[in-house]
Amino acid sequence: MNLAAIPTLDKYVTTSLAGTGSSAEERAVLENLRWEERLGDERLVRYAHGFAGVDVSGVDKVKTAHARYAETYLEIDAGDPDIPDTFGSANSSNFWPHIEENLLLLRIEDANFALRDSGVDVEEFKRVVDNRDNAVLARVCDVWNERRDRRPAFATTEIAVEDTLEAAGADWPHALRDNLGLGHLNPVAGMPPIPVLLLRYAVGEVMRDKQAGVSGFAIPTVIDGRLNPFFFPTPKPEPGSEAAQYEVGRAVNLACAAIQSEYRMGLELVHSFLAYRPEHIWRIGYISRPLTGDLSALRAFHLEWLRLDTDRDDFAAAHFL
């Protein structure tokens, strides 16, 4: 990101990354802002508005300013005629316009959020999913959809994780949590496991649900969601390289990896709002194991594989402090 357009943020990021006082999570957030290169000038100007008058003196202040952008330009109410900035013309360089309509997508959702105000508890809902009680599934989806806004949804393709799912078996919630870099699904010791839903739907369904004139799919950038230490910006491939023919978003794999060769990147994209229906709720499971990987080491592995994947040995090199 051209942080020079936001001088107060630029100064804070530069100073913080040059020092040693930041945690791994804080450093990740700041590195992501520095390394993001997919933002055009128009989106950057809108993003900078959130920092107007902000004393950028800590990561919490950065997150607050970032949240202003997200609330205004991403988290659009269902009845609002505006569209999320991710799918507007200012982000056209990151669109995926030719994605195959029959391709199946997978997305993980926190079941506690999905079931809020539905009158159905998690244990009951597990029986509902296992028995495919479509009447209850439809009722839950209706209540859930009414509460959702139209922010970009992070997902992966089924084909990208089919081997992971097969190898994991019943342990799929942890395997997918790690593969897709979903670090917010990190249970606290002594607290109940986090119930999660695995949703499955086709690209064509998203395309039919999207608003007229909206691009349904994009490669994610650091400003397409709230600031997240488990995210990692995906560089633009070297022009003319083979990598430029299959640009994808790449997620940090949070599974423990002791050496570079053991590490595997995940695949991610963002898509426009899809109203969930009973047939989209594929599985329900629980995440009980806290994250154990070293975030700094995993990000270092990820960066090296990302450079190779995109033919970009120079990516983040000037800023890798």
* Total domain count, the chain: 2
| Domain contains 115 | no
Greater model confidence, 238 or 27: 27
103 and 45 in a common domain: no
**What pLDDT is recorded for position 152?**
96
| Domain contains 161 | yes
Residue with token string 């107060």: 8
Flag whether pLDDT at 239 surpasses 90.
no
**What pLDDT is recorded for position 217?**
94
Alpha-carbon distance of 55 to 38, in angstroms, equals: 26
14 and 101 in a common domain: no
106 and 16 in a common domain: no
101 and 244 in a common domain: yes
Would the pTM count as exceeding 0.85? yes
199 and 161 in a common domain: yes
> Which of these three, 50, 73, 96, is where a domain ends?
73
90 and 167 in a common domain: yes
> Which of these three, 73, 102, 125, is where a domain ends?
73
| Domain contains 32 | yes
| Domain contains 124 | no
Residue range 156-171: mean pLDDT, rounded? 97
Greater model confidence, 211 or 165: 165
List pLDDT tens digits, range 89-111.
Answer: 999 999 987 789 999 999 999 99
* Mean pLDDT score of the chain: 93
Residue range 53-65: mean pLDDT, rounded? 94
List pLDDT tens digits, range 245-259.
Answer: 678 899 999 999 888
Cα dihedral across residues 68, 71, 74, 76: positive or negative: negative
| Domain contains 278 | yes
91 and 215 in a common domain: yes
Separation in Å, CA 161 to CA 8, 175, 197, 229: 41, 9, 16, 22
For residue 310, give every residue at least 6 positions away whose Cβ sits within 8 Å of its Cβ, in sequence order, or none.
234, 235, 236, 237, 238, 241, 243
**What pLDDT is recorded for position 321?**
41
Residue range 199-211: mean pLDDT, rounded? 91
Single-letter amino acid, residue 197: L
Neighbours of 200 (CB within 10 A): 15
104 and 47 in a common domain: no
| Domain contains 93 | yes
> Which of these three, 73, 96, 123, is where a domain ends?
73
Alpha-carbon distance of 176 to 253, in angstroms, equals: 9
**What pLDDT is recorded for position 320?**
44
Residue range 228-247: mean pLDDT, rounded? 86
216 and 102 in a common domain: yes
**What pLDDT is recorded for position 247?**
82
Alpha-carbon distance of 235 to 64, in angstroms, equals: 26
Flag whether pLDDT at 272 surpasses 70.
yes
270 and 236 in a common domain: yes
Separation in Å, CA 262 to CA 177, 244, 257: 17, 25, 6
90 and 69 in a common domain: no
Cα dihedral across residues 209, 71, 198, 103: positive or negative: positive
| Domain contains 135 | no
List pLDDT tens digits, range 275-304.
Answer: 999 999 999 999 999 999 999 999 999 999
Alpha-carbon distance of 70 to 64, in angstroms, equals: 10
| Domain contains 142 | no
| Residue 303 lies in domain | 85-110+150-319
Alpha-carbon distance of 204 to 289, in angstroms, equals: 35
105 and 19 in a common domain: no
Residue 319's pLDDT band, with cuts at 50, 70 and 90, is low
